Structure 1
Amino acid sequence: MTNDAGILLESGTNELEIIEFEINSNKFGINVLKVREIIQPLPLTPIPHAHPNVLGIIQLRGEVLPVISMEKALKINPAANKDIANEKFIVAEFNKQKVVFQVHHVTQIHRISWKQIEKPANLYSVDSSHIIGVIKRDIEMILLVDFEKIVVDINPDSGIHVDKIKSLGVRERSLKRIVAAEDSPLLRKLLQETLSAAGYEYVEFFENGEDALEYLQSFSENGTNVYDEVHLVITDIEMPKMDGHYFTKKIKENPNLSKLPVIIFSSLITEDLRHKGDVVGAIEQISKPEINELVLKIDQHIM
């Protein structure tokens, strides 16, 4: 199975397609946009002293890629009788890197609305959760996995770091106000720290595009010029209720908001998917964790 651009949804529909896979009969999901292909397992080369979740490396069409056990990453007890014949490798690409995830079984593709995805909220702690959403389907549930966190747990250097901002040098403090939509509590905290270190102390955070849009619309409803209160918007793409593409589209369609510059800051920024942000009117699209680039683009476009 390959990630054929022909099956991808149009931009700004607030829908997504997920690939359902199983680990010991537990059902999980991954956004189709992250998946390059699904293949049969290839011979593994073990790496001495590797992270416990890394099974080894494979060579795929000239590329050497790490293989991560989803069973180990999600801390699921091994099954007594594994069905090795159904095991699959999911080749994923996000944050400008390719990673292979070993799963026990790939079942089907679901097309759903982001409104159908519930936030785990207080069920999991900020630092340990690998689940970013819950999808209810009849009597079963599918858990959306935070693949970025799985990779950062193995390689912390691949995440966002405040000290990366120091390379930009001393900068003037800014009174400009920013609205940011990001569903991950951990990333909201990191963004707040990094943007503050860069001089942007006035950032209003929201868990999803729907809440952020309501906030932006409230200014005109109260007779206030939004451009006096908000100068730039930052948004992730994958968020429950309303994703970043649909959020951006709604801003650009609203005559009271359309002049706000919107920067998409997401792990899903690749050359194959960049057109999606262009279609909905994003002024910039930056891949996580390129926080330096994000700050430089804010400097360039903030009103």
Structure 2
Amino acid sequence: MNNDKGILLESGTNELEIVEFRIGENFFGINVAKVREIIPFMKTIRIPNSHPCIKGIFKPRDLVITAVDLPKYLNLSDEDADAGARYIISHFNKTTVGFLVHEVVGIHRISWENVEKPDETIFSGQEGIATGIVKMPEKLVVVLDFEKILVDISPNTGIQMSEVSKMGPRVRSEKPILIAEDSKMLTHILLEALTTAGYTSVTITSNGKEAWEALEAYRENEKLPLEEKVALVITDIEMPQMDGHSLTKKIKTDKVLSKLPVIIFSSLIDEQMHQKGVALGADDQITKPEIGRLVSSIDRLIL
């Protein structure tokens, strides 16, 4: 699995692999890039006064892992763990967690173009936990916002606004920033953080495709210089329609837009992902939830 993961986004192919899993009668997906391994169900040691959705801790090898009861979090099924149950051991936001699921169905390689945005009437607002919908034969697979799930259960793993507050008095800047981020929760927090940091001209798009369409419009509009329409792009990596690596590649290979600073802000950045970002021309890459580093990078690149 890790070897395949090293191929997919190397040149901004706009592809991903998802691990499909079942909870009750529902099917969900998680990006393979977030998955370390999949192991059979094993008993856990319960921790007093922990979040109700924390099943406990266990130690499959040399690392103590927190187990999250995903069926309980989703309020979907009281089905007991049986021989088919698995823990999906994931790593993102610098945290390793085991998510309990009833069954792992398989791994699928797909294009982000085939991942639809969730219906706003169902998954809108900060409480939405679906980042994409994948149509499979005879069923739909919902790609979950695991970052939001983890922050709901353990708030200290998310973006801490105190990092921005500690930076002291800020100079107000109206230089326009374009953000591509599919998580409703993170979009809200990013907007709040950048406003607190003094950046008052921020445009939000929910995926790389929407961001690219906005940039194309900026490029074609000759009434204003490009820097007055957009001075910097911040992008997540995994997003429906077009991922952040593909967006970065499009920007950096465009004759007009190539000088535009691009910061990749993602929970997926490890050594492999960092190398891919460098190859694609990203000006900086910052691991969520390091919001203080993100603000400092923006300061350096556009002030």
- TM-score norm. by structure 2 comes to 0.94
Q: How does 1:241-256 map to 2 (within 5 A)?
A: 241-256=241-256
Query: 1:200: Cα distance to partner?
Result: 0.7
Residue 100 of structure 1, aligned match among 98, 101, 109: 98
Among the aligned pairs, what percent are the same residue?
A: 47
Change (3 A) 1:39 1:298: same
1:117 has 2:105 as partner? no
Match of 1:140 in 2: 139
Match of 2:61 in 1: 61
Matched AA of 2:296: L
Cα displacement string for residues 249-299 of structure 1 (whole angstroms, at most 9, x for unaligned residues): 000010100001100011111223222211211111111111000000111
Contact 2:41 2:81 survives alignment (8 Å): no
Match of 2:282 in 1: 282
Partners of 2:58 and 2:132 in 1: CA distance: 30
SS in 1 for 2:272: coil
Contact 1:216 1:226 survives alignment (8 Å): no
1:149 has 2:142 as partner? no
Partners of 1:271 and 1:100 in 2: CA distance: 22
Query: 1:301: Cα distance to partner?
Result: 1.1
SS in 1 for 2:260: coil
1:195 has 2:194 as partner? yes
Partners of 1:257 and 1:7 in 2: CA distance: 27
Change (3 A) 1:112 1:206: same
SS in 2 for 1:86: coil
Partners of 1:4 and 1:102 in 2: CA distance: 24
Query: 1:111: Cα distance to partner?
Result: 0.8
Match of 2:35 in 1: 35
Query: 1:5: Cα distance to partner?
Result: 4.9
SS in 2 for 1:211: helix
Matched AA of 1:157: N
Change (3 A) 1:10 1:237: closer
Contact 2:41 2:83 survives alignment (8 Å): no
1:218 has 2:254 as partner? no
Contact 1:74 1:130 survives alignment (8 Å): no
Matched AA of 1:100: G
Q: How many residues get paired?
A: 300
Cα displacement string for residues 183-206 of structure 1 (whole angstroms, at most 9, x for unaligned residues): 122221111111011011111111
Partners of 1:281 and 1:145 in 2: CA distance: 29
1:160 has 2:159 as partner? yes
Query: 1:227: Cα distance to partner?
Result: 2.7
Contact 2:89 2:96 survives alignment (8 Å): yes
Contact 1:36 1:91 survives alignment (8 Å): yes
Matched AA of 2:86: K
Partners of 2:87 and 2:68 in 1: CA distance: 9
Contact 1:262 1:283 survives alignment (8 Å): yes
Match of 1:177 in 2: 176
Query: 1:138: Cα distance to partner?
Result: 2.5
Question: What are structure 1's unaligned runs of at least 5 residues?
Answer: none
Contact 2:5 2:32 survives alignment (8 Å): no
Cα displacement string for residues 11-66 of structure 1 (whole angstroms, at most 9, x for unaligned residues): 30111100111111311100000001111223311111211111100113321110
Partners of 2:252 and 2:290 in 1: CA distance: 25
Matched AA of 2:109: R
Partners of 1:168 and 1:61 in 2: CA distance: 40
Matched AA of 1:68: V
Partners of 1:276 and 1:93 in 2: CA distance: 18
Partners of 1:228 and 1:128 in 2: CA distance: 34
Contact 1:161 1:190 survives alignment (8 Å): no
Partners of 1:107 and 1:7 in 2: CA distance: 22
